[in-house]
Every structure is written in structure tokens, then in C-alpha cells.
Amino acid sequence: MFTIGQFSKITALPVKTLRFYHEKNLLIPARVEAGTGYRYYDDRNTQTARVITALRALEFSLEEIAEILAQHDDDSDILHFLKHRKQSLQDRIERDRDIVATIERIVHNEQEARRTMSQAQFEIEEKTLPPQLVAGIRMQCRYDEIGTGFSQIGRKLGRHISGKPLCLYYDNEYREEDADLEPCMPLRKHVPVDGISVRELPGGRCVTLVHRGPYQQLGRSYERVLKHCADHGYEIQTPTREVYLKGPGMIFRGNPKNYLTEIQFLIQEPNPAP
């Protein structure tokens, strides 16, 4: 099972939203720990959360979503429902044409994501990362704004950069507007620069998985890594890391289906039983 913070990363839903959905009996955790009130979620919760997110994007009210979830048993049933909904929306006013296009994207993206994951050639690995000299800029921002940090580092330290860009994530949950993160670039040598932290990242034992596909689908790979760590009793150390092995270029974006992102979780292994 996943903690509420881990589940937040998997589903891209803030913790406060998950608590609200629980209060509305829309997304009930698999288990709530007596005494502490800690919420824990399972695979079925993951599927339900993705359905809720998709329906909210289509401007369904919480009451409508609750009714849909009660009347449809699984994802394929709900996707079938959405296709029929599309046909009815085509007769509405011009404003609703955007909703029809959104439905098409949801169906296509879900099918594409499942196809990509089923064809993925990458497996979870455990390895030891060496220490690494990096230049980083700590930021609080939206996830899609980290490019500004990479640009600043590139302008000031371009000729000293040696390796793939990476980002450190200090939050234990998904945050929409104020994520605590640090875009970094590996360096050949230590070069002090104002406004940029140049330091050695510690190495250590690590669980990694290379994700192939758009960044919007990273949650599926995070789910696999978090499951692996939970199954082996590993304690995950923050910050977690993403290394961008292949992504958009400075001029051409490339095909997001071919992006390669390595998720890295430094871990503390459990003490052996006496």
C-alpha cells in the first residue's frame, strides 16, 4: 500500500485534494490506521483516482462523478461511457466542442500509455551511484517551469557542463504550484558562481527505473518504483532524482513518446534481523 504522500505523487493529486475526496466519500482509502488516522491506498484506488481526474477535466461535478463511479465497474466500462458521451456533446453549443476534443485526448492518451507501458523494455534496477559534482538552483515553482533553472545554469556554466541534466525533488507529495525542486547540471570541475549551488551530490544505494514516454505519464513508473521499495522494506531518501537521458532539445521538442527519464530513489536498506 502507499502512504498519502506517495499516492499523491502517483496520481498527481495534492494531499489536500485526496483528503477532500475522502471526506466526500468519492475516493476512500483502502485502509485508515486507527489512532493516527493515516490513510493508505492500493491499486484500485489508483485506477479510481485517474478516472476522477479525467472526469474533472471534463467539468463533471463531484456529484456526477460519484454517480458515474457507482454505475460503472472498471476503466474500460467508463471509457465506453465517455465515447457515448462524446456523441451527445457534438450537438451542444460551440463552447462544448472543447470537451469533445478532451474526451478524444483522454481515450487516446490512456490507450497509448497502456501500450507504451506494456512494450517498455526497461526493468527496475538496484545500483550504487557515485558522488557527482553538480550545479543547481533551488526553486519553488510549477513542474513545467524547471526549464528556466536549466537555462540559467547553461548560460553561466555551459562550457563546464558534463553529463545529462537532472532534477532533485524535495517534496514527498505532488504539488501543483509550489513544488520544491532543484534543476541541476553535472560539472567537470568546481566553478563558484553567484546564485548557483555548486557542490557534490552524495552517492549511495539506489533503486532506478528508466521511463520511456511523455513526462505526463511518469506517475505510472513512479508507481512501479514505489512498489518495489515497499516490497523490499526500503526507506526512501529525499531528495529523489530524475535524470533526463533524452528529452526536448533547445529548438526541436522531439517526439515525447521517445523521451527517456531515469527515476532514481536513494534508499536506506532495512537492518538485518538479529
Mean pLDDT of 68-87: 73
Mean pLDDT of 66-93: 72
Q: What would the DSSP string read from start to end of 136-178?
A: E--EEE-GGGTHHHHHHHHHHHGGGB-S--EEEE--SS--SS-
Mean pLDDT of 132-138: 97
Burial of 169 (0-12, 13-18, 19+ CB in 10 A): buried
Alpha helices in the chain (DSSP H): 4-11, 15-23, 43-57, 62-71, 75-89, 97-119, 147-157, 218-231
Which band of pLDDT confidence, cut at 50, 70 and 90, is reported for residue 200?
A: very high
Residues 91 and 62 in one domain: yes
The rounded distance, in Å, linking the Cα atoms of 91 and 104 is: 16
Residue that is last in its domain, among 51, 86, 119: 119
Of 139 and 114, more confident: 139
Residue that is last in its domain, among 119, 142, 159: 119
What is the CATH number for 154? Answer: 3.20.80.10
Poorest-pLDDT segment among 10-24, 87-101, 191-205, 209-223: 87-101
- Domain-located, residue 237: yes
pLDDT score of 217: 87
- pLDDT, mean over the chain: 87
The answer for residues whose C-beta is within 8 angstroms of residue 226's C-beta and 6 or more apart is: 2, 6, 9, 10, 236
Residues 172 and 107 in one domain: no
Which band of pLDDT confidence, cut at 50, 70 and 90, is reported for residue 95?
A: low
- Domain-located, residue 216: yes
Asked if residue 78 has pLDDT above 90, the reply is no
pLDDT score of 114: 65
Residue that is last in its domain, among 100, 119, 138: 119
Q: Which amino acid is at 52?
A: I
pLDDT score of 70: 81
The rounded distance, in Å, linking the Cα atoms of 11 and 14 is: 9
- Domain-located, residue 274: no
pLDDT score of 251: 52
Parent domain of 103: 2-119
Residues 57 and 153 in one domain: no
Count structural domains, the chain. 2
Grid coordinates belonging to 186: 553535472
pLDDT score of 216: 87
User: 273: which DSSP letter?
Assistant: P
Asked if residue 73 has pLDDT above 80, the reply is no
pLDDT score of 72: 72
Mean pLDDT of 56-80: 79
Cα-Cα-Cα-Cα torsion 251, 254, 259, 260, nearest 10 degrees, comes to -60
Asked if residue 168 has pLDDT above 70, the reply is yes
CA 54, 58, 62: angle at the middle one, nearest 5? 80
Mean pLDDT of 15-28: 93
Give the CB-side neighbour count of residue 86, counting CA atoms within 13 A: 14
Q: What's the Rg (C-alpha) of the chain?
A: 21
Mean pLDDT of 232-260: 85
Poorest-pLDDT segment among 52-56, 63-67, 249-253: 249-253
Asked if residue 90 has pLDDT above 70, the reply is no
Residues 140 and 258 in one domain: yes
* pLDDT tens string 30-41: 999 998 999 999
